[in-house]
Amino acid sequence: MDLDPVIRSFSSWAENSQGKARFSVESQRQDLILLKDYLKEQKTEIEDVDGVFLQGFIDELSLRYAPSTIARLTSTLHSFFGYLNLMYDMPDPSTLLKTPHISRHLPVWASSQEMEAVLADFDQSDKGILDKTIVTVLYCCGLRVSELCTLRANDVRLDQKQIRVLGKGEKERIVPLVDECVQQMALYWNVVRQPKASASSYFFVSLKGLPLNRQYVYRLTKNSALNHQLSPSFSPHSIRHSFATRLIENDTDLRMVQELLGHADISTTQIYTHVDTSRLVGSVDQALKDPGLNFDEFSAGPSSDNVNALNPSLGSRKKSKSEPESDTEIDSQAGQKKQ
């Protein structure tokens, strides 16, 4: 069986019938290319693959790739062989594959002061305005990098202070915009976006007028982290973590945080309660050293009048009506080798 057309048809099926996001489909395609190369190397046809062969494939790649990559690859194999079973009535040898255990670490995030310093660092050039708008939207809206890059211009309603986000699985949620974010997005739209790519359907474009890609956002984030001595593992997703942490720190209801982030399972959102708890001892210590600390501003709750979860300059946030979706962190380390 020629695998190239089968992989193409699988990708089309995953995107159109299963509702997989474009970036997820591309990651699956890259995984299946690894499988195709391994089959060629082992001189084995896809019809002859069994569970032992697949486990050997996984075990060999485990020597070179991170557990998160192997876990995603295993998931891809389950989906692909399930597809072959459905379409070609082939046996599914992936049923007994062992998925590697991935320990859950507390997410990397930045404090409000650190994020304010990052945002204050951009100039008023076209590049400075673009870069500041990217970071502002990531921080004020908690978007995944893929959601930012695929944000459509007609899904941005600055007059209504909200954006419509299509997340993984094409599930929709509405995210409100604080005033500072609206102002920055309007500046970018008028000064950079419209002169360079007025006909583009995407809200974010490069300085050449092309759709923004994830690599640009990753480089921007890494450079900002380096300039401000943030964690070496700081990434666009760390800005999303920072958004969620601000909300939890300011007593926003966990269900509201779940909706704003687009999590299907609230247990995913609960990781941020651990982030906040990890700071508890330090917060108490600081409070005892500073008797004048006003706790009222942190306990007022997430009403539209008093939520100031991001930082004191970012205004109020309205409650979102959104569709939750699954939260799988973008595998920016696809193919990353173990260190």
Query: What do you get for the CA distance between the two ends of the chain, in Å?
Result: 37
Question: Looking up tokens 């651990």, which residue turns up?
Answer: 274
Catalytic residue among 20, 193, 263, 317: 263
CA atoms within 13 A on the CB side of 21: 24
The identity of residue 254, as a single letter, is L
- Mark whether 272 is an active-site residue: yes
Decide: 21 and 170 in contact? Cβ < 8 Å.
yes
* Active-site residue, 88 included: no
Tell me the DSSP string of 231-267.
-TT--HHHHHHHHHHHHHHTT--HHHHHHHHT-SSHH
CA distance 81 to 78: 6
Give the residue among 67, 104, 115, 71 at the shortest CA–CA distance from 273: 104
Contacts of 41 (CB under 8 A, 6+ apart): none
Q: Which of 144, 193, 246, 317 is catalytic?
A: 144
List CB contacts of 129: < 8 A, sequence separation 6 or more.
Answer: 122, 187, 188, 191, 192
Phi–psi pair at 227, nearest 5 degrees:
-65, -30
Choosing from 20, 237, 241, 246, the catalytic residue is 237
Q: Which of 72, 132, 240, 317 is catalytic?
A: 240
**Catalytic site includes residue 240:** yes
- CB neighbours (10 Å) of residue 120? 8
- Per the CB < 8 A criterion, the answer to whether 44 and 1 are in contact is no
Q: Which residues contact 259 (CB under 8 A, 6 or more apart)?
A: 173, 320, 321, 322, 324
Q: Is 263 a residue of the active site?
A: yes
Cα–Cα dist 79/101, whole Å = 19
Catalytic residue among 20, 72, 168, 173: 168
From the list 65, 83, 216, 272, the catalytic residue is: 272
Q: Which residues are catalytic?
A: 144, 168, 237, 240, 263, 272
